[in-house]
Amino acid sequence: MQFLDRHTNFVKQTAAGLGFDFCGIATAGFLNEDARRLEAWLKNGMHGNMDYMQKHFDLRTDPQKLVPGARSVITLLINYFPEEKQQQGGVKISKYAWGKDYHEVIRAKLNNFLNIIKKEIGDFAGRGFVDSAPVLEKTWAQKSGLGWIGKNGNLINKKQGSFFFIATLITDIALQADDTITKDYCGTCTKCIDACPTEAILPDKVVNGSKCISYFTIELKDALIPGDMKGKFDNWLFGCDVCQDVCPWNRFAKPNTEAAFNPIPEILNYTEKDWNELTEEKFKLIFSDSPIKRTKFKGIKRNLQFLNSHE
C-alpha cells in the first residue's frame, strides 16, 4: 500500500511538472458498456466514411489487448484554450488547430513522462496514446475522475470546461485509482444540441459523426461536400467549435500556458480573401507544423469553394 501511494503521488507530481493540467488514474479493465454503445453507433453508420472507427474494435474496449497485463490507465489533460480571438467576419478555424500539431507536442511530453517514471519506479510495460490509436480516451478520463461526457460527446471538466487535449498512458503498474465521476452535470441543458448547425448532436449523448462539420471539413476526403449541407457551415473552414463555445461550463475556461499552442498569426488575421489567394507553396510553408496540414491544400480549397458557393 505504501508503494502504491508513493508511486501514485509521484505520477501525479510528474504530470504537473511537465505542464499537464490534470492527471487521473483508473483501474484497467474491459469496457463492457462502451463496447455495446460503440457497436450500435457503428451499426447505425454514424461514423460516415471514417472506416478506421470500425477497425480494432477489441483493442478499443480492452486495454489489456494493447498492453498485456495492463493494471492502470493514466489520463492526462492539457488545456488548449487560447487567449486570442480570430477576427470577426472571416472563415473560422477550430481552436485546437491554432498552434503547433498537438500530436507532436504531447507525444514528446508523454515520452518524457514515461522515462521519468521509469527512473523512479523501475522498468515497466507502458504505452502512451494521443488521439492516434484505438483508445476510448474520454471514457478513461471519466473513469479517472477528470470529468463527465457531455451531450456533445466531449469530456467536460468541472473546473475548466472542455477545451482539452487528452493523452492516455496504459501501464502494467498498480496505482491508486481515482473515483469515477458518475453524475451528469449537464442536467437539463440542451444548448449544444440547439446550437449545432447541422443537427449532428442527438439526445442520449449520441453524436452523428457523419453530420458533424468537423467530419465534412477534415475527415471527408471526397472531392465535393454534399449539397444538402448548403448554408449550414456557419463559415467554418476547418473543424467546428460551436458546441463547445455555447457550453456554460466553458465560462470557466482559462487561457493555456503552452507556448507551442500559441496561434499561427495567419489563423488569427487572414481574411477570406487571403485564404482564397493562398497558394499551395505558401500553405505548406505556413502550416507545416499545424494540424491543418491534415486536410492538405486541396481539402482547404474544397472547403473554401463550398463556403464561397453557399454564402
Residues 93 and 130 in one domain: yes
Residue 18 burial (10 A CB sphere; 0-12, 13-18, 19+): middle
Whole-number pLDDT of residue 135: 67
Please report, in tens digits, the pLDDT of each residue of the chain (311 residues total): 566 788 999 999 999 999 999 999 999 887 766 555 655 555 555 545 555 444 554 555 677 878 889 999 999 999 999 999 998 888 999 999 999 999 999 999 999 999 999 999 888 988 888 876 556 888 899 999 999 999 999 999 999 999 999 999 999 999 999 999 999 999 999 999 999 999 999 887 888 888 999 989 998 888 888 888 988 999 999 999 999 999 999 999 999 999 999 999 999 999 989 999 999 999 999 999 999 999 999 999 999 999 987 54
| 137 and 220 belong to one structural domain | no
Distance CA 244, CA 199 (A): 15
Matching residue, cell 504531447: 106
**Catalytic residue at 34?**
no
Among the candidates 171, 201, 225, a domain finishes at 171
Q: Could you say which of 138, 171, 204 is where a domain stops?
A: 171
Shared-domain flag, residues 58 and 138:
yes
Tell me whether strands 92-93 and 236-238 are parallel, antiparallel or unpaired: parallel
Examine residue 220 and state whether it is found in any structural domain, yes or no.
yes
What pLDDT, on a 0 to 100 scale, did the predictor assign at position 35? Answer: 52
Whether 254 is covered by a domain: the verdict is no
Domain count, the chain: 2
Residue 85 forms part of a structural domain: yes
CB distance 75 to 144 below 8 Å = yes
What's the whole-model pTM score?
A: 0.90
pLDDT number for residue 191: 97
pLDDT at 41: 52
Please identify which of the residues 131, 172, 245, 289 carries the catalytic annotation. 131
Instruction: Give pLDDT, residue 208.
Output: 87
**Which residue segment(s) compose the domain that 234 sits in?**
191-246+263-309
Give ∠ CA 2-5-9 in degrees, rounded to 5: 140
State which of 105, 137, 171 marks the end of a domain. 171
